[in-house]
Structure 1
């Protein structure tokens, strides 16, 4: 059964996309720890990030490195935090989180923004790419 992220890649589930290539996708987390919290994934479904082959892993990191400055320009923050947790969805992914304090990385405190708020945030970030 495809992961929720594979279903987003296939267009079966809508997402607030930030950036996309043939191999990678960045989109907003629908239950972010802070506004602008973005998920970066390889389109190829691989459960565990350290099971990615070296080229796909390196490409994922390089893609995230291109997305992070756009988030930082669009969302007032001190820096972009990076997290790989890997337990919640069986599809390798990186969290890019705008940070103003360590509390912004608390995955137990999630926001519940509206679809309009997410769309506006995604547009702000895309404009910075």
Structure 2
């Protein structure tokens, strides 16, 4: 059975993407802790992050690093938290959360967001990535 993330990646469910290449996608989480909270997800359905092949793991982290720089520019945050929790969906995903306080990392504070708000945040991040020359953000 495919995960909800596989369905989003395949276009069977809506998603607000900021990055897509042949191995990794990044899209806004429907339940952000703060504006700009998104997920970096390998296209291949792998349940545990530590089961990813090394090259794929490195690529995921590299994409996360690029996107975190865009998040810093867009949100003016002090840091971008990287969280790999993995209990919510059995498909590896990296949470990238713009943070200014430790409370900004508390996943229990996540709340469902409106589609229009997610689309607006995705557009801001895509524009920043495209401005920096990343074609993977031209969706």
User: Which deviations, in whole Å up to 9, do the C-alpha atoms of 1:48-95 show, x marking residues without a partner?
Assistant: 000001111111111111111111111231111110001110001100
| CA distance in 2: counterparts of 1:121 and 1:19, whole angstroms | 13
Instruction: Provide the residue aligned with 1:35 in structure 2.
Output: 35
| CA distance in 1: counterparts of 2:20 and 2:73, whole angstroms | 19
TM-score, with length taken from structure 1: 0.96
List gaps (5 residues or longer) in structure 1: none
| CA distance in 1: counterparts of 2:53 and 2:75, whole angstroms | 32
List gaps (5 residues or longer) in structure 2: 130-139
Instruction: Provide the residue aligned with 1:10 in structure 2.
Output: 10
Query: What's the offset of the Cα at 1:113?
Result: 2.4
TM-score, with length taken from structure 2: 0.90
User: Which deviations, in whole Å up to 9, do the C-alpha atoms of 1:12-71 show, x marking residues without a partner?
Assistant: 011010111111000001100111001001100000000001111111111111111111
Runs of 4+ residues over 2 Å off in structure 1: none
Partner SS state of residue 119, structure 2:
helix
| Aligned pairs, number | 129
